[in-house]
Amino acid sequence: MKKFGIVFLVSVFPLVIMGAGIVQKAEAQLSQKAEEQLSEITESFRRYLQSVLETIEAEVKPEAQPSEKPVALLAGKEYENANWEYFNRCGGCHGMLRKGATGPALTPDKTKPIGTEKLAKIIFNGTEGGMPGWGAGVNVYTKDDAELLAKYIQMEPVAPPEFNMKEIRATWKVHVPVDKRPTKPMHNRNWENFFAVILRDAGKIAIIDGDTKEIVSVQDSGFAVHTLRYSKSGRWLYTIGRDAKATIVDLWMDPIQTVAEVKTGLDARSIESSKYESKKVNYVDKLAVVGNYWPPSYVILDGLTLEPLKIVSTRSYTYDTQEYHPEPRIASIVASHYYPEWVINVKETGHILLVDYSDIKNLKVSAIESERFLHDGGWDKSKRYFIVAANMRDKLVAVDTKTKKLKAIVETGVKPHPGRGANFKDPEFGWVFATPHLGEATVALIGTDPKHNPENAWKVVRRLKVGGDGGLFIKTHPESNHLWVDHTLSKDIDAQRSVTVYDIRYLNAAPTIIKLTDKGRIVHMEYNKEGNEVWISVWDRQGEIIVYDDKTLTEKTRIKDPSLVTPTGKFNVYNTRLDVY
C-alpha cells in the first residue's frame, strides 16, 4: 500500500517531486534507483512527503470509506491546467490554500461529500450566494472545464510556491528607459479624458479617447486585471493582473506604450503610486506598491521603472481572536492625502495598515484594528476619511487618515460592495457615502460630515431600493444629479442587464430602471471628465461600451470592436487620479 501511495504521489504532484529532483518517472514498483534518490531527501521534506502519503493511503483504503466511490484524481497536463485555473480564477474568493475567504472553503472534507457531478454543476451554473456561473453566466468554462475543476478541488490542496526577491527581479523588464521617454505629450488628444478599459479575459487594456470614442491603443497586461490606477500627474497608468503582473503605460507617447512590467507574486488585486507632496517634499510618481494575495505581502517598487525594492509580509494574527493566519491577503490600497502613506487593507486579519513610504529602509507601519474581510473602498468627500467594506461582516469601516485612528464601524446590509463608493449631498442629511450590496437589493447611505452634521455622521441615514441584488458598483459625479447602480451579480437575468438610476435631489421618488442589453451582464459605471456622460460595460465575450447622456438618461452611442473582449472596469484619467467619485 505504501509503494502504491508513493507511485500515485509521483503522478499527482509532479511539481513537488520535480522541485525536490528525486523521481523522474512513476512505475508500477519503485526501482532501486528511485529508492536511492528517496534516501537523499532532506529530513523536513521526508516528513512532509510521509504526511502526504499517509493522507493518500487513508483516502484509498476501502475499509475507511466503504460507501464512497474513489475520486478520479488528476495528473499530468490535466492537473496543471486545473491548478492554473484555480489559482487564477478561484483562489481570489476561496483562498490560495482553499481554506475559504469571501467564498467557502474547498478542502476535500467539504467537497468530496458533494461529489464531482454536483460540484461541476455549481461551477458551471453559479450559486445564489453570488458566485457567477462560469459556464452559463459568463461563458468562460465548458462543462468539461467545470468537471475538471470539480475533480481538482476534491484533491488535497497544494500550496503555491513563495515568490522571493530573486524571482520577482527575474520578471522585471524596462521596455523604454526613463531618459528615452518624452518630456511632453507627443499627440494632440485630450489625454486627461482618456478611459482605460479592462479587457478581463483577454489579458489586455484598451485606451479609449473620451472625446472621439476611438480606441487609441490596446496594451497587453496581466491576466484578469482587477483594477487600474493613475499616477497623480495622470501620465502613468498602472495596471495589476490577478496573476500579479504589474505594468506601467505611458499615455504621453505616440503610439502609447507599456514602458515597464514586473510580476510581484502569483496572485494580486491592488496597485497604487506615491502621491504626497508639500512645500518641503515631493513624492509624486516616485514609488508604487502592489498588494498581493499570494504570497500574502505587499511589494514596494520604483514608481517609474517598477524595479522591485522591498517585500513586506502580511502574515500575522487576526485582530479579534488573536489567531495566526497564514494567508492574510491585501485587497484595496489608496494613497493618503495627509501624509506620505499608503492605506493598505488586509482582509483576513482585519488590520488597516498606514505604511509610511518616506523612508522604506526604516519602514514605519501603523496597524489599525478594524474588522475582518476588508475589501474595496474609497474616500469621503473631504478625502480625510477612507471608507472600506468588511463585506463578509456586513459593515463599512471608516478610518481618519489625519489622526491615524479608527473613526467608525457601521453595519449597512448584507455584503456591502461599494467599489470606490459615491459621494453626494443628500437633501436632508448632508454629505453621504453610498454603497450597494451583493446580498440584498438596497443602497445604504451613511453620513460623512461630522463637522456640520454630527447627528448624522457614521450612521445609515437612508436606504434606497434598487432593481436587483448583486450590486458591485455605484457612481455619481460633482457635476451630476444622478446616482447609478449596477446589479451585476443578481440572480435575475433582467437585473444583470439593467441599471438603477436615482435623481439625488428627489431620493424619495421612485428610481429609473434601464435595461441596456440582451447579452452578458452590465458592470461598472464611469463618468467622463466633464461629468455629463456615463460609460457602462457590457461584460460579454463580444463586449461593448455603452455611453449615456447623464442629463437626459438617453443613450448616445455604443463603442463596438472585436478587441472589446469581456470589458469590465473603466477608469477616466481625470476622475481617477483626483479621486473624484
| CB 468 within 8 Å of CB 489 | no
pTM of the predicted structure, to 2 decimals? 0.81
pLDDT at 61: 39
- Known catalytic residue: 325? no
- Known catalytic residue: 524? no
From the candidates 226, 325, 351, 375, give the one annotated as an active-site residue: 375
From the candidates 94, 226, 477, 482, give the one annotated as an active-site residue: 94
- Known catalytic residue: 375? yes
From the candidates 96, 131, 155, 253, give the one annotated as an active-site residue: 131
Sheet holding 521-527, edge to edge: 521-527, 533-539, 544-549, 554-560
Q: Give me the tens of pLDDT residue by residue for the chain, a chain 581 residues long.
A: 433 333 333 333 333 333 434 333 333 333 343 344 333 333 433 443 344 344 434 443 333 343 345 555 788 899 888 988 887 778 777 888 888 866 789 999 999 999 999 999 999 988 866 677 888 766 678 999 999 999 999 999 887 889 999 999 999 999 999 999 999 999 999 999 999 999 998 999 999 999 999 999 999 999 889 899 999 999 999 999 988 999 999 999 999 999 999 999 989 999 999 999 999 999 999 999 999 999 999 999 999 999 999 999 999 999 999 999 999 999 999 999 999 999 999 999 999 999 999 999 999 999 999 999 999 999 999 999 999 999 999 999 999 999 999 999 999 999 999 999 999 999 999 999 999 999 999 999 999 999 999 999 999 999 999 999 999 999 999 999 999 999 999 989 999 999 999 999 999 999 999 999 999 999 999 999 999 999 999 999 999 999 999 999 999 999 999 999 999 999 999 999 999 99
Q: How far is CA 366 from the centre of its chain?
A: 24
Calculate the CA dihedral of residues 317, 323, 327, 329 and round it to 10 degrees.
-50
Spell out the domain ranges in the chain.
1-65, 71-160
From the candidates 226, 325, 351, 417, give the one annotated as an active-site residue: 417
| CB 476 within 8 Å of CB 422 | yes
- Known catalytic residue: 417? yes
- Known catalytic residue: 487? no
DSSP code of residue 161 = P
The angle that helices 43-60 and 2-12 make with each other, rounded to 10 degrees, is 100
Could you tell me the fold of the domain covering 71-160?
Cytochrome Bc1 Complex; Chain D, domain 2 (1.10.760)
